[in-house]
Structure 1
Amino acid sequence: MSAGPAAPPVSDAPVAADAPRRRWTHPVVLVGALLVLVSVAGKAWVLRQAYFVEDDFLFASEAAGSAFQWDHLTRVHKGHLMPGAFALVWVQTRLAALHWGLAAGTMLALQAAASGLFLRLLTAAFGLRWGVLVPLAVYVAAPLTVPVLSWWSAALNAVPLQLALVLALLALLRYLRTGVFRYAWLTAAAVALGMAFSVKGMFLPPLLFVLAAAYAQRGRWYRAIGAELRARPRLWLLLSGLTAGHLALYLARQHTAEGQGAGLPEPGAVGEITSLLLGRTFPTGVLGGPLTWGPVTPSGGLANPPELAVAGAWAVLAVLVALSLWHRPRAWRAWGILAGYLIVADLVPLLLARGRYFGLVGAEPRYVADAALVFAVCLALAYLPLRGAGDPPRRPWPHRAIAAPAAALFTLGYLAAATVSIHGYAATLSGDRVRAYVAEARAALAELPDDAGVFALPVPEHVVLSWNGPRALSSYVLPPLADDPETAARLRQPAQTGRPLVFDPEGRLVPAELTGVSARPEDGERCLRPVDGLISLEAPSYGGPAVAAAIRYRAPEDAWVNLGYGDQWQAVGLAADDDGEWFVPVALPGGQVVVDVGGLGTDELCVRELAFGGFTPAE
């Protein structure tokens, strides 16, 4: 990231001159483009095994039921402020709700853009040398970036963040070399893009600053920091303002997190998360691991590297660091930046967001997916000279006959390990099960009878985990699948009906039966006797789309009654029937069902049973 004018690249091997008209046909660019294309094809194959899961359904449901407004876009979801992501979800839900091709294809396109632009960054920063293919391969084939891509709600944070970092580095590099302030604005725009999709976007300005201070200034690093501030104060003031604004918005919207925002971690979880994330998941992941996965969650397997792989990864990292320090005078700065980023941008936010729950989150690769890109950048800075930086190696490499094959062997070994890891991860995905469930539910809703009422049940655990509470109910998860707003509304809150239906575990709509408490006539009686015109049943509940009151009756003619529960009264029309049954949903909490029959006698309306409860599929 030289501050001076661009100089001709120093090549690792005799290659053609860096002429603009020949740049796109240069062998390094062609091989790099092939790496990018193969990696994108591999990720596309993984995405075919994946499907919507967990928060994906929650995002789509919230978008389907909300207007495109500030409160919806800036709410904090499980510690994440992500207005750009919610805006994208809202648009895609309006275009084609829960359409995997659209959702996954958009993320894949952004990932491809990040990979292609990273190739452009490497050649712009280090020249058209074969050595840039090593960090390129390390990023585009990184297994750490695959799990986060295959889970839509996680990809909405991580993939645009990676793209934003590459764009910011490209713009910053151009600004450092030209001094044209337009590129400072482009740097800020890229940072704002990252902030719009991920809270980690607030760590981009500090990362850009330490990179500029380390590699665009001369002298000791602590002096370079001051020199960089004096050299480009407007840029760093601009980025500081973005960071302060983003942080202020995050803090101002914390109340929307509903208890799932940031908080102090449990002391016992800190050590476990740190050990897993930085001791096992990251080191194996950036070197092609973890090779094996487990346990398997609905969104895919967690990193579970063998002990030999962990030891091997640390050994390889130690060799990489040692060789770079032997070869280049400022390589330690790159590794220091990487270590700082891992702690400040990855570990600390994870501890604050998830440290109150359980330590196993440290085995989730998605929390260090962005670090795969930072590792590739730092690897390049540790080994390759920047164009025009005047930073000669401390010691020259041994004869090229040793150095070049060693780099090639490392790259091939990395790619082989990454292929094994990615293939293994794809085997942990349960996309086919969820896809089949959604297809059945979508088809059932398209043929929903007009007289039916759909009552809520929890969707299967492999669709949305039950710990999400009411948000795991079919009434919350499935409305985006409806073809029209009326059907969606009938899912969210069922209407009175004589034909209750529920979704079974396969996603089919089937007849339902009510289970709960009931009142029946005393022995020798055929009907429940009203007291002052009222029939009551003690039945405390919170109400909602999963529960209802049921009236089983006989009426020679149509009859009207009023049913009360909590603070809500509803007029209920009972059609003439010798053995009728009518179900009345209750939306509000209460403790007692009351049926007001007015002046109707038992010969006009015989209530044979009053029941209250939830539903199960009828046997």
Structure 2
Amino acid sequence: MLSRGTVSSVALVAIVAQLVVRGWLAATGNFYWDDLVLIGRASDYPVLSWDYLGHSHDGHFMPAAFLVAGVSTVIAPVNWVVPALTLVVLQAIASLSVWRMIRVLAGPSAGVGALAALVFYLFTPMTVPAFAWWSAALNSLPMQAAMAWIVADAVILVRERGSHPRARAIVIRSTVVFVVALAFFEKSLFILPVAFVAAVLAARFGPAAPTPIGSTGGDEQEPRLTDTTLTRTFTAARTLWAALGIIFVLWTLVFFTVSDATAGEHSVSQTLALVWRSINNAVVPSLVGGPWEWDRWVPSPPMGFPPTWMIVAGWGVLAALVWWAVATRRGAVAVVVSAAVYVVVAQLPVMWNRSSANTALELAQTMRYLPDSALVITVAIALIVGSPATARAHRAAGGSHAGTADRGRLGPVVLALAAALAVTSALISLTSFSRSWRDDPTADYLANAKRSLAAHRDQPMFDQSLPLEVLLPVAYPNNQISRTFGRVRDRPEFVGVTDRLDVLDSTGRLVPGSVTRARTIPAGRGTCAQPEITGPARLSLDGPLIQWRWTVAMGYCADRDGVVTMALDGGQAVRVPVRSGLNVVYVQLEGHGSELALTPVTPGLSLHTGEARVGEVAEARLVG
């Protein structure tokens, strides 16, 4: 039997080891996909405005996550240091909160078992993808910390029948923690049912635990969830349940008012297929530290591909652990069933929202939707190891004093060996994930782009889209460089008119640009000596344009410095400065149609236009 001091020391070492590993993972990572969307919105809106904080992001209502992302963007725009620090700090808070919860659920005497529950949480691959992805971590880590904290508080109140001297403070702090978690992630609504069920399961044992009807009080009787147990759980912490329940209802109403989570077409059959893929190819292999192989189809996130033997091994380990729990711990059946129900049911809403004709089943193998399931499994382990032994286990332990002593010495050794193997396997998985996570062009693109923009800060340039490998057009307008680098101070001004066309290439380096030839405008009939445009004119294109943001590249001769306006049908006129002599100007216009309206604004200004191109901005080497 390990002393409480030894157990606490080992737990602290394990947490520090996890933070070192996670710190390395964070330090070697970078921004990805939704991270850039959060940065883009923080560049376009005041970070304390409701337009920013209350935005429904891909169906999520997450004002606190937006706030952290916004503050980080203001402090250090497109700089990974601050986000990496937030990841490690949030993980430290979550891990310490989970250890506190385990000690409450398992009790002070469950030393080795409590450590097993902690090690599972700290190193399971189920929590890794959502940690490395900053925007996902801003949702998940606060939820994990809050769930662990509130579960522990609920069990404390129930076990002491609401007579805890600081019961009011416990209720207040748990309510505040619940609100904070919800502000980061609406899925934190699940905390309330998890805390209640955990409290009910914990209330079956311990001080003043009710005796099931028909029980003689012996170990042979499997504890049941009686009316007394449910009543005691509810009444002992009724103030807590009332406070959390009110917040639950109010936040649900706000969420469905603000969010568009249910928009789009969904499929029941694909939802079920995604849930099964998540269980069989993600949750189960993680029980043996898998998967060891991660791969990605850029720009998608990494996906785990466990081999068949690892899936089979995972099911075998699960069956063995369930058998051991049921055979040796009273009340284990209810705990196992409750955990299994959560792991399955918690996947249904997110997989329903992701189900569509274009969703690949491999989405479930990204494992980024599983951290809360990992925590619920941790709760189950802590409850089981803290439960009394069954009569069968007592008889087996009393059969031979010598055998009992040998098993007492051998048990911790076997458990430590199994934990070491599981952690080693999990670290192999994490290393493979890290390699796949770094196989992404975003980090190099952002670094090169910041250097290029700083080196040409005095030359205004057009806005443009990020490369497809970094962010797809579906994220428009947050896939524009003016959004991504909007808060960066050392950069050019982004404009709609320029006389020098430079663009960022796919690697983030500034290179000469040109305009593709979607449509052309023939040269005017005048000359530089006799300009043909002296007033409003409409220049014909060689074909119609659809509604879009087009770029016009036009050579011209002007008789003086001045200003003209250009416009397409359906778009606003843009003021364009022109210079005396022979020059070229590039203008971005919204609109459609078959004509370009050009109007001199400066009195007496005349100009002759050469052949013009209307199209998209691209690298000059690609246009020719």
TM-score when scaled to structure 1? 0.86
Kindly report which structure 2 residues correspond to 1:97-176, keeping only aligned pairs within 5 A, or say none. Answer: 97-125=77-105, 126-127=107-108, 129-176=111-158
**Native 8 Å contact 2:339 2:376 kept in 1:** yes
Q: Aligned to 1:225, which of 226, 230, 239?
A: 230
2:500 corresponds to 1:518: no
Mapped to 2, the partners of 1:121 and 1:62 lie a distance apart of 37
2:65 corresponds to 1:63: no
**Native 8 Å contact 2:449 2:510 kept in 1:** yes
Mapped to 2, the partners of 1:583 and 1:295 lie a distance apart of 39
1:285 Cα deviation (Å)?
1.8
1:381 Cα deviation (Å)?
1.3
2:315 corresponds to 1:314: yes
1:274 Cα deviation (Å)?
1.7
1:402 Cα deviation (Å)?
4.8
2:84 corresponds to 1:76: no
1:55 Cα deviation (Å)?
0.8
Mapped to 1, the partners of 2:451 and 2:172 lie a distance apart of 49
2:191 corresponds to 1:204: yes
> How far does the alpha carbon of each residue in 1:518-554 deviate from its partner, in whole angstroms, 9 at most, with x for none?
111489999996698513234524444xx32232112
1:64 Cα deviation (Å)?
2.0
Corresponding residue number in structure 2 for 1:46? 25
Change (3 A) 1:145 1:299: farther
2:252 corresponds to 1:236: no
**Native 8 Å contact 1:151 1:299 kept in 2:** no
Mapped to 1, the partners of 2:15 and 2:22 lie a distance apart of 11
Mapped to 1, the partners of 2:197 and 2:487 lie a distance apart of 45
> How far does the alpha carbon of each residue in 1:143-172 deviate from its partner, in whole angstroms, 9 at most, with x for none?
111111111111111111111112212322
Kindly report which structure 2 residues correspond to 1:441-460, keeping only aligned pairs within 5 A, or say none. Answer: 441-456=449-464, 458-460=465-467
**Native 8 Å contact 1:265 1:351 kept in 2:** no
Report the secondary structure of 1:181's partner residue.
helix
Kindly report which structure 2 residues correspond to 1:468-547, keeping only aligned pairs within 5 A, or say none. Answer: 468-483=475-490, 487=492, 490-491=493-494, 494-515=495-516, 516-521=518-523, 533-538=536-541, 539-544=544-549, 547=550
**Native 8 Å contact 1:511 1:618 kept in 2:** yes
**Native 8 Å contact 2:289 2:422 kept in 1:** yes
Q: Aligned to 1:464, which of 465, 471, 494?
A: 471
**Native 8 Å contact 2:557 2:581 kept in 1:** yes
Report the secondary structure of 1:221's partner residue.
coil
Q: Aligned to 2:613, which of 608, 611, 614?
A: 611
Corresponding residue number in structure 1 for 2:574? 570
Change (3 A) 1:391 1:59: same
> How far does the alpha carbon of each residue in 1:202-231 deviate from its partner, in whole angstroms, 9 at most, with x for none?
010011111111221443225233442244
Deviates further, 322-331 or 208-217: 208-217
Deviates further, 35-44 or 401-410: 401-410
Mapped to 1, the partners of 2:326 and 2:370 lie a distance apart of 25
Report the secondary structure of 1:606's partner residue.
strand
- Tell me how many residue pairs correspond in the alignment: 578
Corresponding residue number in structure 2 for 1:290? 291
**Native 8 Å contact 1:552 1:610 kept in 2:** yes
Mapped to 2, the partners of 1:553 and 1:29 lie a distance apart of 78
Mapped to 2, the partners of 1:598 and 1:401 lie a distance apart of 93
Mapped to 2, the partners of 1:204 and 1:130 lie a distance apart of 27
Letter aligned with residue 312 of structure 1: A
Q: Percent identity?
A: 24
Deviates further, 396-405 or 527-536: 527-536
Report the secondary structure of 1:427's partner residue.
helix
> How far does the alpha carbon of each residue in 1:572-617 deviate from its partner, in whole angstroms, 9 at most, with x for none?
3321123x11122224566642113589999x52211233221111
Mapped to 2, the partners of 1:85 and 1:588 lie a distance apart of 36
1:276 Cα deviation (Å)?
1.0
Query: Structure 2: 5+ residue runs without aligned partners?
Result: 205-209, 213-223, 398-406
Corresponding residue number in structure 2 for 1:265? 266
**Native 8 Å contact 1:51 1:431 kept in 2:** no
Deviates further, 100-109 or 351-360: 351-360
Report the secondary structure of 1:429's partner residue.
helix
2:279 corresponds to 1:278: yes
**Native 8 Å contact 2:54 2:62 kept in 1:** yes
1:404 Cα deviation (Å)?
2.9
Corresponding residue number in structure 1 for 2:220? none
Change (3 A) 1:434 1:307: same
Change (3 A) 1:339 1:543: same
Change (3 A) 1:295 1:446: closer
Mapped to 1, the partners of 2:475 and 2:242 lie a distance apart of 41
Letter aligned with residue 431 of structure 2: H
Mapped to 2, the partners of 1:352 and 1:163 lie a distance apart of 26
Mapped to 2, the partners of 1:122 and 1:598 lie a distance apart of 74
Corresponding residue number in structure 2 for 1:195? 182
Letter aligned with residue 163 of structure 1: A
Letter aligned with residue 108 of structure 2: G
**Native 8 Å contact 1:301 1:429 kept in 2:** yes
2:350 corresponds to 1:350: yes
Report the secondary structure of 1:481's partner residue.
coil
Q: Aligned to 1:88, which of 49, 61, 68?
A: 68
2:396 corresponds to 1:395: no
Corresponding residue number in structure 2 for 1:28? 7
Mapped to 1, the partners of 2:499 and 2:341 lie a distance apart of 63
Change (3 A) 1:182 1:573: closer
**Native 8 Å contact 1:174 1:183 kept in 2:** no
Change (3 A) 1:372 1:423: same
Corresponding residue number in structure 1 for 2:339? 338
1:321 Cα deviation (Å)?
0.4
Change (3 A) 1:70 1:553: closer
1:468 Cα deviation (Å)?
2.7
Mapped to 1, the partners of 2:566 and 2:341 lie a distance apart of 63
1:289 Cα deviation (Å)?
1.0
Mapped to 1, the partners of 2:421 and 2:427 lie a distance apart of 10
**Native 8 Å contact 1:205 1:240 kept in 2:** yes
2:586 corresponds to 1:583: yes
1:93 Cα deviation (Å)?
1.4
Change (3 A) 1:127 1:299: farther
Aligned-CA RMSD value: 2.8
**Native 8 Å contact 1:521 1:608 kept in 2:** yes
